[in-house]
Structure 1
Amino acid sequence: MPWDAAGPGTGMDDDDALMARAAAGEQAASRALIARHGPRALALAVSMLSDRAEAEDVAQEAMLRLWKQAPKWRPGEAQVGTWLHRVVQNLAIDRLRRRRRWSQDDPPERPDGAPGAEARLAEADRASALRGAIAALPDRQRAALTLRHFAELSNPEIAARLDLSVEAVESLLSRARRSLAATLKDRRDALGLEAGLDPAGDA
């Protein structure tokens, strides 16, 4: 997709009209939406991933999801740019999570026996509970928390990637941790969740 093709020539139609035309199969409308929103989607993906090739994959996947959404699009319920920003952000976060998993060394081999199996089950239970709680957070809180604890970025790095001030990032992290602590308070000790996700954890 020609991500850098933004500029004049996108037409005067608003996004809702372009979505309706794209849903009807009009290629010109699809090209106009790419020209209007593609560069911004790519820039967000690049800022979060710091990898042009990966960012292009994410931006392309987000635009494909937009086309699939076109027949169900209801004018006035959402803005295309906001919807696309959220999709790009979530796709980029998924990639950052996978990077973290891939970068970790394989755990040392354990002799057969109950302790190793129990540890693996506990880890799976902990990960499942934490994923569910994080998924329920508001978009910006989820993005900030994921970049901090899964991508291991500093607050200034997160601020740069999300186009926010460092103070805004600190506020998002604090609110996200409070929400997680409230959601998981009855299971935190049993799950052995890390202190860094507590409200008083390191920001």
Structure 2
Amino acid sequence: MAVIDEDDDESLMAETAVGNRAAFDRLTRRHLRRSLALAHRVVGNASDAEEVVQDAFLQIWTHADRWRGDGTRFSTWLYRIVVNRSIDYRRRRSFQPLDDAVEVADPAIGADGLLAERQLGAAVDAAIAALPDRQRAALSLCYYQEMSCAEASEVLHVSVSAMESLLVRARRMVRTRLNSLIRQKDGDEK
């Protein structure tokens, strides 16, 4: 590799064209700040400007052999690439200002929803806790342990029809307790 004149962009570019990474690094360091400032003015923010300039320097590295240096200064060529990449970037990423954006509802449950969910969970737990032991066990095995009626009936040493009867009575009692709580709550709100 040839000795590089640090003051001459065109010599650095000629060396870059033959794959001299040190020459390319020197060009990049020399023009990075001004390229970022130019891109920032065109695209409007620093992070997009960084992306544009990175893309521009990547293009220079990959197409360095196309540099002719026939009277055009390297900085002119570089800034033309930065401006073109900036304009292309703005066209592709045509965002509206945040103030113009449509407000999107938050899909997360709000504080009121969380409170209501917790209250309902506590009411269900209390209704299940109030069940007779065998009904509570039947409900727990089938719904919380995800066992079939046949599997749960083996655990409780009852027939499948007896298990189904325990489940029907348990669900009915839980539903009755929850309905009475709902009616009570509705009466309190009036």
TM over 0.5: no
Q: Give the structure with the larger helix fraction.
A: 2
With structure 1 as the length reference, what TM-score do the two structures score?
A: 0.42
TM norm structure 2: 0.45
Larger radius of gyration: 2
